[in-house]
Amino acid sequence: MDRDINAFVEVLDPTPEVSGPLSGLRFGVKEVIEQEGLATPLGVPFLGDRIGKENAEVVDSLLDAGARRLGTTRSTMLAIAGDSGARNPLDLSRSPGGSSAGSAAAVAAGFLDFALGTQTVGSIVRPASYCGVVGFKPTFDVLPTRGVMRLSVELDHVGLIARDVETAQRAFRALAGPRDGQGVLTKACLPAPWFDGDLPTPVEAACTGLAERLGTIGLAASSCTLPDDVTSAEGEILNGLLCKGVLDNHRAFIEANEAQLPAELLALAKTGARISRQDHAALRSERDRLGAIMERLFDDETVLVFPSVIDAPPKLGSGTGLREPQRLWTLLGWPAISIPFGSYGGDLDHLSVGVQLIARPGMDVPLLDLARRIEAGA
């Protein structure tokens, strides 16, 4: 069944049925997440025989909760460079996008109910949007990263790609435990995009339509513009932290295999080599400064409505898509969920458009509750 989509590195006999809160749900694991005795090649073709020594904490938690593991899903190299080899089930000539490409493709194809993914820039939200499924990036460090390949200690998130919000909500609850008393989201803001060029009409329509849906359930939505201090600096800060992380965490691998690695990965490492310890500390301080600005601007009751993507899924061999709409929320560590809300229309009507809902750190449960209400049309 996976021959055309190529979402899996390895397909397993389903694990035995175990009673628990996730009984009856099938899941997959991105190949940069350790699994004992199973292929964990980190998206690197010549590491195909690399076997995990122990399960990542999140894998054990899902198995203990009764979910049935069906396989290991494809990633780009080290979750940052090259092509995963997976194809988008909505259009086999296009990429699922992002590094969690196999996870999104497998869920969109109906092979899995949900899958584990990782996001260091945009690789949960972006492929979920391109494939027409739900992508949830929790608050930074809410889900443990023990046993997950490290790319950037300041940016790495573990999250979920799921067939619907309810499934993501169930899986998150099993992974994060009870998180009650977090409040309620009562108002919405639509930040103006700060990227070059106009939003594609279908993307703008999806955001407007979702804001109108919020109005029907009692959340007044208004437009806003983020401070120049934030929008002018976020890209450079994230890129610096990413490049420094790539070098620090994978220097030996890159130096030993330089001739076999894509130019994109080598360029990231080269940039990282120019970032001193003092520069790295300054980048972290700047990240914290932007977070403080944003937390003064938005309170715990506000949900932000923002495009998940600003481009259609790229054609195979043309990259993994544009990162701009996901980047800031990863840098800040704010929880974000992408839900499908419309299509591109015309000749691209088969391609889904996703919209992000974003909240302040720690507001994961209210964010999922709100997304569930939107999905249910209530």
State the catalytic residues. 30, 99, 123
357, 371 contact by CB (below 8 A):
yes
Distance CA 100, CA 161 (A): 9
Around Cβ 116, how many Cβ atoms within 10 Å? 28
305, 190 contact by CB (below 8 A):
yes
Nearest to 333 by CA among 243, 237, 267, 244: 237
**Maximum C-alpha span of the chain:** 57
Tokens of 126: 């972006």
- Strands 114-119 and 157-162 come out as antiparallel
Distance CA 149, CA 166 (A): 28
What DSSP character marks residue 8? E
Distance CA 109, CA 111 (A): 6
Nearest to 59 by CA among 179, 148, 129: 148
> Which ranges constitute the DSSP H helices of the chain?
57-64, 101-108, 125-131, 165-176, 201-216, 228-231, 234-256, 263-273, 277-297, 324-332, 364-376
